Amino acid sequence: MRKVFAALLPAVVLISGSFTTIKPKPVKAKAQRPNIVVILADDLGFSDIGCYGGEIHTPNIDYLAKNGLRYRQFYNTSRCCPSRASLLTGLYNHRAGIGEMTDAEDAPGYKGHLAENTVTLAEVLKSAGYQTGMVGKWHVSNTTVQSTPQTQQAWLNHQATYGDYSPLAQYPTNRGFDKYYGNIWGVVDFFDPFSLVNGTKPVTEVPKGYYHTDAINDTASAYIKGFAKAKQPFFLYVAHTAPHWPLMALPQDIEKYKDTYKVGWDKIREARYKRMVAMGLIDPKTTKLSPRWKPELTWDANPDKEWDARAMAVHAAMIDRMDQGIGRIMATLKATGQLDNTIIVFLSDNGASPENCTAYGPGFDRPDQTRDGRKIVYDMNKKVLPGDELSYASIGPRWANVANTPYQFAKADSYEGGVHTPMIAFWPKGITANKGGYSNQLGHVMDFMSTFVQLAGAKYPTTYNGRGISATDGISLAPSFSGGNKGHNALFNEHFGARYARVDNWKAVAKGNEKEWHLYDLATDRTELNDLAANNPGKVKELDSLWNNWAKANNVFPKPKKGK
């Protein structure tokens, strides 16, 4: 596998296995200001990784947690591109221009790209003297779509070329990143990704044996080796596509989990919950295990047990492979003398996805053939086992519910299962709080801007390249590194009508098709089981008013006109 990247990448440290077994000769670090590495997983469930209760083998991510901090209440915006927009800009996502997806729409909060009033982490840190690089999924620029379904499909299949995947002004290298290798769009064939570019140049073919998760991690390692030669610190954004659908993994990784999920949804979910309680991540008095999604179908009565167990095995394999590469990134940091003064944060862009991507069928961002003409199967009958390049599938709502243990609901919802992410901060030189412990600071992806500005000695601008820049909404996480817990007292969200308002421990929340709010006291009910709205109309009215004020101030309204 490693040999296939020689044609694409500079020399890279390629060390396999758990990080804790690696003992390269240390080299004295040069930089006083910290390097910064942000690792973002895609559609990872709250309890998927080992240090958050999962059975999936993630020793390198677990190492970060054991030697860093785990956050108990950290939030994203419930969807891929909105979370990325917020993370990159320090703003709520609508104010950053991406309220829904990447279509260019006719309202300020729905431009589908990072708006003119934004400045990115890379732009701010580069202005402060940092080297900047990004690998992986961009997904915060307008998607260029061909004029007919036929030409779009040929493009997706790598059987025709039509130029740039988005306006070049919106590419990462035009938003502060010195280097970029990755996919401009959101969805990829992991063995032959669409919208792959190096800088701004399309990568028109990949070598035999290519796997995108490995390419992302090994390019990150190569960038680090280059950055370490300079005196300036660096900022590296590692945006994985795993474990987002389609379910595609390497056979040797799937093999590890071939029997793991044959016990079914309930047993895996209950085992995760017990581990979370045992490790002190959650308090069973305030965080009950929510009922399983649609429990009327039991595992024993499930006619698709073989397919479903395989699907979750592939999901696990994709996470396992991501963790292996994160170990190589950490090994490179250590070998180059950078590890001790590097901040690494790891999190997910939203909860695990309940989508049935098979039902979407080919089109827009989904191929129907490989580049050499082999048919890709969208099998709604669950007869074709997932995992290779020729099947197109996802884990679906029941396994997503397991992945998001102990919470209800999933990606795109404003319930905790959609917006509550695992988050780990690691910084050997800078974290003095109880390492291996937990932070209760109420945090959000937009907080990275304030955090890194503070720790890098940078300045968040009021203007940038002649454009007025909106003030950041984030709060620095730096106090939590020394044991502080002062974070947000209020957070809000909206995505396709799904919404929440959280003030202290009161949370009003609604699904996208609901007009009325539900109300929960998260101090005693973190899994949102006991709706208090009927008995607390005054609190509902208060939170509704705060949410509407926030929505008006942050470009949630006006909504774009549909069907023009």
**Cα–Cα dist 299/279, whole Å:** 28
**Cα–Cα dist 536/359, whole Å:** 41
Which residues neighbour 335 within 8 Å (Cβ) at sequence distance 6 or greater?
A: 13, 24, 25, 27
* Nearest residue to 61 via CA among 235, 400, 278, 321: 321
The pLDDT score that the predictor gives to residue 563 is: 54
- Please list the alpha-helical segments (H only) found in 337-393: 357-360
Q: From the candidates 51, 57, 80, 81, which is the catalytic residue? A: 80
Please give the structure tokens belonging to residue 487.
């974070």
The pLDDT score that the predictor gives to residue 127 is: 98
Active site residue 158: no
**Cα–Cα dist 5/401, whole Å:** 36
Neighbours of 471 (CB within 10 A): 11
Answer for the pair 556, 94: CB distance below 8 angstroms, yes or no.
yes
Q: Which residues of the chain have pLDDT under 50?
A: 1-31, 564
Residue pointed to by tokens 């610190």? 233
Q: How many CA atoms within 13 Å lie on the side-chain side of 450? A: 19
**Cα–Cα dist 408/413, whole Å:** 9
Q: From the candidates 139, 244, 495, 518, which is the catalytic residue? A: 139
Q: Is the bond leading into 26 cis (omega within 30 degrees of zero)?
A: no
* The residue type at 67: N
Answer for the pair 67, 426: CB distance below 8 angstroms, yes or no.
yes
Strand partners, 463: 468
The pLDDT score that the predictor gives to residue 562 is: 75
End-to-end CA distance of the chain: 48
- Quote the pTM value: 0.95
The pLDDT score that the predictor gives to residue 486 is: 86
Strand partners, 493: 500
**Cα–Cα dist 58/45, whole Å:** 14
Answer for the pair 395, 311: CB distance below 8 angstroms, yes or no.
yes
* Nearest residue to 143 via CA among 203, 184, 197: 184
**Cα–Cα dist 500/200, whole Å:** 38
Q: What share of the chain is helix, strand, coil (3-state, %, to 5)?
A: 30, 15, 55
Please give the structure tokens belonging to residue 61.
């991510």
> Which uninterrupted H or E stretch holds 467?
strand 467-468
* Nearest residue to 243 via CA among 78, 16, 40: 40
**Cα–Cα dist 446/487, whole Å:** 12
SS3 540: helix
Active site residue 420: no
The DSSP secondary-structure symbol of 498 reads E
* E strand map for 250-372: 342-348
Phi, psi torsion values for 134, nearest 5 degrees: -140, 145
Q: 2-21+33-553 architecture in CATH? A: 3-Layer(aba) Sandwich (3.40)
Which residues neighbour 357 within 8 Å (Cβ) at sequence distance 6 or greater?
A: 245, 246, 366, 392, 393, 394
Domains of the chain, by residue range, sit at 2-21+33-553
